[in-house]
């Protein structure tokens, strides 16, 4: 079964947000369930009677604006060290979720991502277990950038 062959990714790979051809460094995090994308200026709008989010993704030189269908909110656990010592068990954070077409190497997948300002993190895109599974991947944490970046494939999604 050739389709079951796992792809080995480094702990960081280049990922393309296909709709705008924006290339970002993505951290593969097996400790996270969902994907998270750095976004600012997040606003809800309506298109064709459906809720959408308009937001900007900070790049190295400029912010790129996206509009994606709003899927709802996801609850994210607050990590150790991200809350005040006086708080025993902080409430989960709710973040908006949109579907993004993400390409790594020659694979393009529709991945639900939650939006948050990740400017204090090293990587603007975090891909959790759900995305790693969607890309049929294994993660080798001793390497980075194992996959060759390819030109964005706009119409191919599996």
Q: Is residue 24 part of a domain?
A: yes
Q: Is residue 145 part of a domain?
A: no
Report the 10 Å Cβ neighbour count for 55: 22
pLDDT band at 120 (very low <50, low <70, confident <90, very high): confident
SS3 of 23-43: EEEEEECCCCCCEEEECEEEE
Q: Is residue 17 part of a domain?
A: yes
pLDDT digits (tens, 9 = 90+) for 54-91: 999 999 899 999 999 999 999 887 765 555 566 666 77
Q: Is residue 157 part of a domain?
A: no
Q: Is residue 155 part of a domain?
A: no
Q: Is residue 136 part of a domain?
A: yes
Residues 6+ apart with CB under 8 A from 30: 128, 129, 132, 139
């Amino acid at each position: 079964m050739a389709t079951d062959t796992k792809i080995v990714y480094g702990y960081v790979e280049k990922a393309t947000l296909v709709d705008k051809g924006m290339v970002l460094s993505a951290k593969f995090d097996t400790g996270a369930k969902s994907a998270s994308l750095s976004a600012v200026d997040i606003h809800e709008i309506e298109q064709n009677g459906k809720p959408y989010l308009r937001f900007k993704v900070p790049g190295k030189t400029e912010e790129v604006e996206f509009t994606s269908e709003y899927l709802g909110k996801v609850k994210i656990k607050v990590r150790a060290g991200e809350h005040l010592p006086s708080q025993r068990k902080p409430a989960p954070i709710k973040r908006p979720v949109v579907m993004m077409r993400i390409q790594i190497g020659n694979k393009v997948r529709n991945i639900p991502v939650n939006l948050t300002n990740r400017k204090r993190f090293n990587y603007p895109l975090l891909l959790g277990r759900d995305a790693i599974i969607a890309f049929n991947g294994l993660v080798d944490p001793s390497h980075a950038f194992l996959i060759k970046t390819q030109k964005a494939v706009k119409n191919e999604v599996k």
